[in-house]
C-alpha cells in the first residue's frame, strides 16, 4: 500500500490533473498527500549570487520567490480539500524542482508529476521542468506516476497495461506497481516482438511473469504484439485497445545513448501516454 504520496506543486495548468490522480490514490490507499514546491534557488546559490557582481539577487527578490511558492502551496491545500483530501502537507524547497522532489521522495512511496509539456507559466513562475519525470526515475529510489494533462478522474488502475521486456527496469516497475495492480480488474501483460529477445523470454513469452503476478492474486492476460511500430507506439495502442486506466513500464531499459539516438519506449510513452503511467528504473 502507498501511505505517503508526493505531488509536484508548481501552480501551473497541469497541476489540477496530477492532483486529481494523487487525491484518488490517497483516498484508495488511505495515504497522506504531500505537496512539494521549489523556489528554484537554494540558499547557498542565493548567497553566492548575492556576492557576485555578475548576477546579484536582492533580499527582496529572494523573498518574492518564497512568497510565490507560499501562494501555490496554499492553493494546493485548497485544491486537495475540494477533492476530499483533508490535512494535506506542504514542503517548500529552496532549490530546483527536480532536486527538491528527489529530496522529499526519500520519505514517500510514490511521486506524482505531469507529462513534459512546453513551458507554462503560473503565478509568474516557470513551471514544469523539461525532463522531470525521467530525471526522478533515473536518480530517485521511488516509482514515478506521470499524469497526462487530459486526465479527468478515470479510475486508477481500472484495467492496467504492463509493458514486459525482461529488463531490470521493467521488473522494478512491476514490483513498484503491485499496490496499484492489486486493485486492477485485469492486468494486460504486454510484450512487443518478443521473438527478437528470445533469450529473455523463453519458449512461452510472458508465461513466467504472468505466473508471478497471478501468485499475487492478480487476474492476468498476456498480450503479444508483432508489429513494425516502435515499442512505445505499440504499447500505447494496446493500452487504448483495452481502455487501460494505468500503464506500467520500466524507464530506459536500453542504454540511454540508444534511447537518445533511436528514440525508445521511455521517450514515446513519457511524452504521449494516453493514461497515467508508472515508471521506475
Is the pLDDT confidence value at 28 over 80?
A: yes
CA 193 to chain centre: 26
Is the pLDDT confidence value at 127 over 90?
A: no
**Least confidently predicted of 38-42, 79-83, 132-136, 204-208:** 38-42
Please check whether residue 213 is in contact with residue 189, taking contact to mean a CB–CB distance below 8 angstroms: yes
Task: Indicate whether 143 and 169 sit together in one domain.
Answer: no
Task: Indicate whether 9 and 111 sit together in one domain.
Answer: yes
Please check whether residue 278 is in contact with residue 143, taking contact to mean a CB–CB distance below 8 angstroms: yes
pLDDT tens-digit profile of 75-104? 999 999 999 999 999 999 988 889 999 999
pLDDT tens-digit profile of 53-78? 455 667 788 789 899 999 999 999 99
pTM of the model: 0.89
Q: Is 88 inside any structural domain?
A: yes
**Least confidently predicted of 140-149, 169-178, 260-269:** 260-269
Task: Indicate whether 119 and 46 sit together in one domain.
Answer: yes
Structural domain tally of the chain? 2
- CATH, residue 84: 3.40.50.620
Q: CA-CA distance, 114 to 93, in Å (whole number)? A: 19
- Residue pointed to by grid coordinates 497515467: 276
Using alpha carbons, list the distances in angstroms from residue 32 to 16, 82, 109, 133, 271. 18, 16, 10, 21, 28
Q: CA-CA distance, 85 to 160, in Å (whole number)? A: 25
Q: CA-CA distance, 79 to 61, in Å (whole number)? A: 27
Task: Indicate whether 124 and 211 sit together in one domain.
Answer: no
pLDDT tens-digit profile of 209-228? 999 999 999 999 999 999 99
Cell numbers placing 179: 499496490
Where a domain ends, among 102, 126, 147? 147
What pairing do the DSSP bridges indicate for beta strands 125-126 and 121-122? antiparallel
Task: Indicate whether 136 and 172 sit together in one domain.
Answer: no
Q: Is 235 inside any structural domain?
A: yes
Q: Is 155 inside any structural domain?
A: no
pLDDT (mean) for 26-50: 80
Eight-state DSSP code of residue 195: G
Task: Indicate whether 275 and 176 sit together in one domain.
Answer: yes
Kindly report the number of other CB atoms within 10 A of residue 41's CB atom: 17
Task: Indicate whether 138 and 210 sit together in one domain.
Answer: no
Q: Is 264 inside any structural domain?
A: yes
Task: Indicate whether 13 and 132 sit together in one domain.
Answer: yes
Q: Is 152 inside any structural domain?
A: no
Q: Which domain holds residue 115?
A: 4-147
The string of DSSP letters for 74-85 reads: HHHHHHHHHTT-
Burial environment of residue 152 by CB neighbours within 10 A (0 to 12, 13 to 18, 19 or more): exposed
Amino acid at each position: 500500500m502507498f501511505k505517503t504520496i508526493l505531488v509536484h506543486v508548481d501552480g501551473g495548468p497541469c497541476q489540477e490533473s496530477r492532483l486529481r490522480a494523487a487525491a484518488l490514490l490517497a483516498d484508495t490507499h488511505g495515504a497522506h498527500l504531500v505537496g512539494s514546491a521549489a523556489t528554484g534557488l537554494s540558499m547557498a546559490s542565493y548567497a553566492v549570487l548575492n556576492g557576485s557582481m555578475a548576477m546579484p539577487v536582492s533580499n527582496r527578490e529572494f523573498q518574492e520567490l518564497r512568497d510565490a511558492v507560499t501562494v501555490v502551496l496554499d492553493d494546493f491545500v485548497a485544491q486537495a480539500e475540494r477533492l476530499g483530501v483533508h490535512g494535506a502537507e506542504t514542503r517548500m524547497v529552496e532549490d530546483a524542482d527536480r532536486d527538491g522532489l528527489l529530496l522529499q521522495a526519500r520519505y514517500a512511496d510514490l511521486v506524482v508529476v505531469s507529462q513534459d509539456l512546453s513551458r507554462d507559466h503560473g503565478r509568474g513562475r516557470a513551471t514544469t521542468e523539461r525532463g522531470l519525470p525521467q530525471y526522478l526515475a533515473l536518480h530517485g529510489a521511488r516509482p514515478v506516476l506521470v499524469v497526462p494533462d487530459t486526465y479527468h478522474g478515470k479510475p486508477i488502475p481500472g484495467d492496467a497495461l504492463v509493458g514486459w521486456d525482461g529488463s531490470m527496469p521493467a521488473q522494478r516497475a512491476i514490483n513498484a506497481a503491485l499496490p496499484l495492480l492489486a486493485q486492477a480488474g485485469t492486468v494486460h501483460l504486454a510484450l512487443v516482438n518478443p521473438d527478437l529477445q528470445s533469450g529473455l523470454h523463453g519458449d512461452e513469452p510472458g508465461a513466467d511473469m504472468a505466473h508471478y503476478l497471478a501468485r499475487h492474486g492478480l487476474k492476468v492476460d498476456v498480450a503479444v504484439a508483432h508489429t513494425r511500430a516502435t515499442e512505445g507506439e505499440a504499447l500505447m495502442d494496446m493500452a487504448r485497445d483495452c481502455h487501460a486506466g494505468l500503464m506500467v513500464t520500466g524507464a530506459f531499459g536500453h542504454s540511454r545513448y540508444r534511447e537518445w539516438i533511436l528514440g525508445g519506449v521511455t521517450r514515446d510513452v513519457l511524452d504521449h501516454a494516453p493514461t497515467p503511467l508508472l515508471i521506475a528504473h
